[in-house]
Structure 1
């Protein structure tokens, strides 16, 4: 008998979630779902992480965030679910910082995974306006 667990996350952006999974070499695929009610029809994109036993791990959009949906009795990953989510959350945070910083002109110059499990991220942005003001 299956008992699915729905775990809330803070993953709200599909693009950054996929980048985090890619950085961790976690194979996944998109699954488009349609929801129809009496007044409207909408579609969402969920992410599936295949497992060899056929009980896939899913990041399912609930309208606010991607929650993790999994049958705990069929968990096949090499580390516990808490560690799994922590690893993804750490990478997700790094991807959000890089992506949102680039929107305001910063560029990543170093992204390093440290031996203690932490990440080091260094960004830079040049102030070209001041330079051009001084030249003219």
Structure 2
């Protein structure tokens, strides 16, 4: 018997969530429905118990049957990795809107990320 768990997140932007999954090389498919205003992202598993990021009117929550978890990492690590990448994508995307450009983005040995942005001040005389 399946017992689905709904895991709260702070992922509110589908574009940045997709970019984070892509950066982590996590394959997913986007499901668009005419009845639901926001798309869902499905991460397939070979056992048929897929993972889903679904909009709950506030955020994209992860829906999964934890007893059939087949990802490389435990769920806590999996979610932490996505959250880290999501935060980096939000910082880059929102910073670019105000003129910053990413110069360096790398993952450190301790698991943290380094992100360097720059913006040139254009003074016209």
Structure 2, gaps ≥5 residues long: none
Deviation at 1:78, TM superposition (A): 1.2
1:16-31 equivalences under 5 Å are 16-31=16-31
Deviations 1:77-128 (A, max 9, x none): 1111010000000000000000000000000000011111000000000011
Greater gyration radius: 1
**Partner SS state of residue 92, structure 1:** helix
CA distance in 2 between counterparts of 1:121 and 1:72 reads 33
For normalisation by structure 1, the TM-score amounts to 0.89
Partner SS, residue 37 of structure 2? strand
Q: Secondary structure at the match of 2:32?
A: strand
Aligned residue pairs total: 125
Query: By percentage of residues, which structure has more strand?
Result: 1
Moved over 3 A (4+): none
Tell me how far apart the structure 1 counterparts of residues 9 and 82 of structure 2 sit (CA, whole Å): 10
